[in-house]
Amino acid sequence: MTFTEQFLAEAIEIVQRIDRNSVEAVVSLLAGCRAAGGRLFILGVGGSAANASHAVNDFRKICGMEAYAPTDNVAELTARINDEGWAGIFAGWLRISRLRSEDALLIFSVGGGDLEKHVSPNLVAAIDYAKSVGARVTGIVGRDGGYTRRCADACIVVPVVNPKHVTPHTEAFQAVLWHLLVTHPALKAAETKWESVR
């Protein structure tokens, strides 16, 4: 089997193993957030930050949902890192955004955050802050889901089928799954361009 065949076979296995009930739970949470007039804050670092930026566009344009990614404002992000430290960047941003109980976080992360291993402490702090104000927490994460899965109200974990490919598969399936979410009839509010061209 070539590397390409193996990688694609792993992707097929991931699709087959994704927990459908978890996906529907995330859809329900997001639909409830939108119905309550809540906002969606999508948080991620590294490749997941790039995914967050794209996903914000889709939730706003396709679902008619007010959505933001803190990492889209590099000036504020780097000022917060410089002045306040890495761990508090998202919690500080959410505080200034007046996060409230009607709002939701959507965490994109390979590991979901882990304070003991000193990985993504900024996501952990953001989740804790969201919980303190009664906001809902959801995520699309890999590995065992980490802190996000343990604390989330609904969470999709991308199954690990090859420990050597956790990061590429998780970040790729974040895109597959958020596109599933914005296309879901319970969330989709506007036709996408190419589908609307007859």
Question: For the domain that residue 66 is a member of, what is the CATH number?
Answer: 3.40.50.10490
pLDDT tier at 43, thresholds 50, 70, 90: very high
For the stretch 73-92, what's the b/e string if a residue is b when 16 or more beta carbons lie within 10 angstroms of its beta carbon? eeeebeebeeeeeebbbbbb
Tell me if 82 is assigned to some domain. yes
Average confidence score pLDDT of the chain: 96
Range of the domain at 133: 3-190
Q: How many CB atoms are located within 10 Å of the residue 41 CB?
A: 25
User: Does residue 41 surpass a pLDDT of 80?
Assistant: yes
Whole-model pTM: value is: 0.95
pLDDT tier at 192, thresholds 50, 70, 90: confident
pLDDT, tens digit, for every residue of 130-140?
999 999 999 99
Give the integer Cα–Cα distance in Å for 75 and 80: 9
pLDDT tier at 118, thresholds 50, 70, 90: confident
pLDDT, tens digit, for every residue of 47-79?
999 999 999 999 999 999 999 999 999 999 999
Tell me if 42 is assigned to some domain. yes
User: Does residue 197 surpass a pLDDT of 90?
Assistant: no
Give the integer Cα–Cα distance in Å for 34 and 59: 10
Tell me if 154 is assigned to some domain. yes
Least confident interval from 10-14, 33-37, 167-171, 189-193: 189-193
Tell me if 198 is assigned to some domain. no
Give percent above pLDDT 90 in the chain: 92
**Parallel, antiparallel, or unpaired: how do β-strands 104-109 and 154-157 relate?**
unpaired
Say how many domains are in the chain: 1
pLDDT at 31: 98
